[in-house]
Every structure is written in C-alpha cells, then in structure tokens.
Chains A and B, each alone.
Chain A
Amino acid sequence: AQKVTQAQTEISVVEKEDVTLDCVYETRDTTYYLFWYKQPPSGELVFLIRRNSFDEQNEISGRYSWNFQKSTSSFNFTITASQVVDSAVYFCALSDTGNQFYFGTGTSLTVIP
C-alpha cells in the first residue's frame, strides 16, 4: 500500500532562517512520482515540483531545493532564507502507476517576521 508520512505537523521559523520539511514515503511500485504542493490560506493547491522514481537528481529552484533519496524513501524540501509569504501548509504526495495521488498529512509552516 502507498503511504506518505510528514512527521512535522507544525513548524515555526523566524524570517530568513532556512527550514526543511520532511517527507517519507512507502510504495512497492518501481515507477512512481513524488510531488510537493503548497496550500496557502485561500485553499488552492500550488504545484511546486514533481520527481519521478528514476530521477534522484536533486533540484534547486530559487530559494527552494529538494533532496530525493530512494535509499531512505525520503523526498525532503528545503526553503532557504524563508519569507513571510512562505507561510502555508505544504503537502508531499505520491502518485503510483494507477495515477492516484496519496497525500501526506501536511506540514504547517509559519514564518515569523
């Protein structure tokens, strides 16, 4: 069965600090996709990144970076020099070969000015 675990329920950081959001997944599929979404208070999911199971290359996009390690089944997300606008709930998700999404429970990030 597919499962995504985000152990951090809530995180608070002071502006300009770096913060890492953890994501651990379980799947028996060899082909799968991992995602990160941001959900601001408005509720709309904002797509951040997709990574397929065959691509373990880490990725950096501006202040955002992702570390994918199949050996530990983790797909962690780091925000560098956090800003108040980064305050939101962040969801990690896994999509299997059936194209169904499995979401983690989310991490609520608060960036304090």
Chain B
Amino acid sequence: GAVVSQHPSWVICKSGTSVKIECRSLDFQATTMFWYRQFPKQSLMLMATSNEGSKATYEQGVEKDKFLINHASLTLSTLTVTSAHPEDSSFYICSARDRRTRHYTDTQYFGPGTRLTVL
C-alpha cells in the first residue's frame, strides 16, 4: 500500500525556536496533503489543507503566520512551527491524497506522526 513518511518522528525544542516537519509520499504523487494536530487524549483536528504549487488553506482558528505550510512538490509538504511555545506541543499528523484517482476519498494515506515538545 501507499506509504507516507514524516520526519522527524519526534522533536524537542526550546521556546522561541522554529521547527520544520516534513511529510513525504513515498510511492505516489500527492496534489493535496492535510495537516492535523492531536493533543493528548483528544481527537485529530484538521489544521490546513496543502495543495501543490499554491497557498495552503487554513482552518478557522489556525494562525497561518505561525504554522507555515509549503507544498513545493508532488511528494513533499512541510509544516514549520515558527517561534514555538509550550502550548504548541502536540502530535502532528499529515495525510496525503493520491492524485491518480478521481474519486480519491478512499486514497488518503496518513503519516506516522511527529511528536513535538516545546520546553
């Protein structure tokens, strides 16, 4: 099956620094990638939808200047948490949609997640 990777799998950083998380589709091209955030013992909340070659669409309440998303190629999207603070500590999960299918609701593949801890 299709594989989506995330790097790093976990990261610890100091407050005020920026952290970049990569999401890659390894064996398919993804025109669209999604970024989710999951706080402990809570559900996944969609942060933004990333489309290759265009600006990301952010969900209400998500600061676009704080969570920078770049989808520069069909296999890579990055999420940069700028000036991270302890409240940004969370589990970040990306998913990618295979561009080859027209009805691609069933071909959204999730990455393994990145655990961010901001001290």
Query: What residues make up the interface of A, taking CB atoms closer than 8 Å to B?
Result: 33, 37, 42-45, 47, 50, 52, 91, 95, 97, 99-101, 103-106, 108
CB distance from A4 to the nearest CB of B (A): 9
Binds A, one of B61-69, B72-80, B106-114: B106-114
Residues of A within 8 A of B24 (CB): none
A95-B105, A99-B97 known; 17 new pairs, CB 8 Å cut-off, are A33-B106, A42-B112, A44-B112, A45-B113, A52-B106, A97-B105, A99-B104, A99-B105, A100-B46, A101-B44, A101-B95, A101-B108, A103-B43, A103-B45, A105-B43, A106-B43, A108-B41
CB distance from B69 to the nearest CB of A (A): 16
Contact between B106 and A45 (Cβ–Cβ < 8 Å)? Answer: no
Which of B43, B91, B95 lies in contact with A91, CB distance below 8 A? B43
For the complex, would chain B's binding face be called helix, strand, loop or mixed by DSSP majority?
strand
Contact between B108 and A95 (Cβ–Cβ < 8 Å)? Answer: yes
A47 (CB) vs chain B CBs: closest residue: B110
CA distance A95 to B32 in the complex (A): 15
15 example contacts (A-B, Cβ-Cβ < 8 A) are as follows A42-B112, A43-B91, A43-B93, A44-B113, A45-B113, A91-B44, A97-B105, A99-B32, A99-B97, A99-B108, A100-B49, A101-B108, A103-B44, A103-B45, A105-B42
